[in-house]
């Protein structure tokens, strides 16, 4: 790995994280995740009966191949999110937790105060915390200072496929200020948008709906993999600056007969 993504000291080859919801069937999910090349896979804990486990999403994947990232989707308060994370740890699922505190059922926007409170409690308890947040540079700074392993600003409301509805500037600022990985999470609809996120310096993206609800989820998963790889390669290559005027691809300086 010449350019690994490193989270909490653990290196990953892939900069694409994927979810497990909304697929038409488990086989399609498995094949799409494999095609994506992802190594981090997130699972909504509220979709699992933690008190009486039975066949669930956890039984559909070979977890020796992936870093499981439980998430607290469906939790409306900090207290709920902390309780669900503790249950996941007690079951031996993972000390990694993607914190989602979302009280609004219509727009599914994260609660910045509840998110901060839940993250503080879980960081203090030794969890590796990856918070889903609004594209708020100040909140991102505070969560990083607290000890969160990443910050995960949304591009647009979950599942909308609107791309960068929040605009690129707040995410650029988060990238500029962050010393932990910045993962764009929620709202991406196309591989080109994932590529753009990596081109502007984000470290990774997390995609679920855009893959799972595509007409061909497996093919779309491959497309997102390629988009992420292209975006990161472009970032490392260094794009040209934007200029106010045209600049000829074949300059005339030094050409015989050209006017000075």
Other Cβ atoms within 10 Å of 17 Cβ, number: 29
Sheet holding 128-133, edge to edge: 152-153, 128-133, 96-99, 67-71, 40-44, 16-19, 204-207, 183-185
Token pair in block for residue 159: 């599942």
The Cα–Cα gap between 127 and 180 comes to 16
Query: Is 178 exposed, middle or buried, given 0-12, 13-18 or 19+ CB atoms closer than 10 A?
Result: buried
Catalytic site residue from 98, 106, 120, 242: 98
Q: Known catalytic residue: 213?
A: no
The Cα–Cα gap between 36 and 247 comes to 39
Residues identified as active-site: 98
């Amino acid at each position: 790995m010449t350019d690994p993504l490193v989270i909490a000291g653990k290196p990953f080859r892939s900069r694409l994280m994927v979810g497990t919801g909304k697929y038409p069937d488990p086989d399609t999910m498995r094949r799409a995740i494999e095609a994506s090349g992802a190594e981090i896979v997130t699972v909504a804990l509220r979709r699992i009966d933690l008190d009486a486990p039975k066949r669930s999403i956890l039984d559909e994947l070979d977890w020796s191949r992936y870093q499981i990232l439980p998430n607290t989707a469906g939790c409306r308060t900090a207290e709920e999110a902390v309780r669900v994370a503790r249950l996941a740890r007690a079951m031996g699922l993972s000390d990694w937790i993607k914190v989602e505190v979302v009280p609004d059922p219509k727009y599914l926007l994260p609660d910045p105060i509840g998110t901060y409170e839940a993250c503080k409690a879980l960081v203090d308890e030794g969890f590796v915390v990856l918070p889903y947040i609004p594209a708020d540079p100040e909140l991102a700074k505070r969560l990083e200072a607290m000890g969160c392993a990443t910050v995960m600003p949304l591009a647009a409301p979950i599942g909308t496929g609107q791309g960068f509805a929040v605009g690129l500037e707040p995410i650029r600022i988060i990238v500029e200020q962050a010393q932990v990985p910045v993962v764009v999470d929620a709202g991406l609809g196309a591989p080109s948008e994932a590529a753009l996120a990596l081109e502007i310096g984000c470290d990774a993206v997390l995609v679920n709906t855009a893959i799972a609800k595509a007409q061909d989820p497996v093919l779309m998963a491959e497309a997102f993999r390629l988009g992420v790889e292209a975006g990161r390669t472009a970032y490392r290559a260094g794009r040209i600056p934007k200029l106010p005027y045209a600049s000829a691809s074949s300059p005339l300086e030094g050409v015989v007969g050209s006017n000075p």
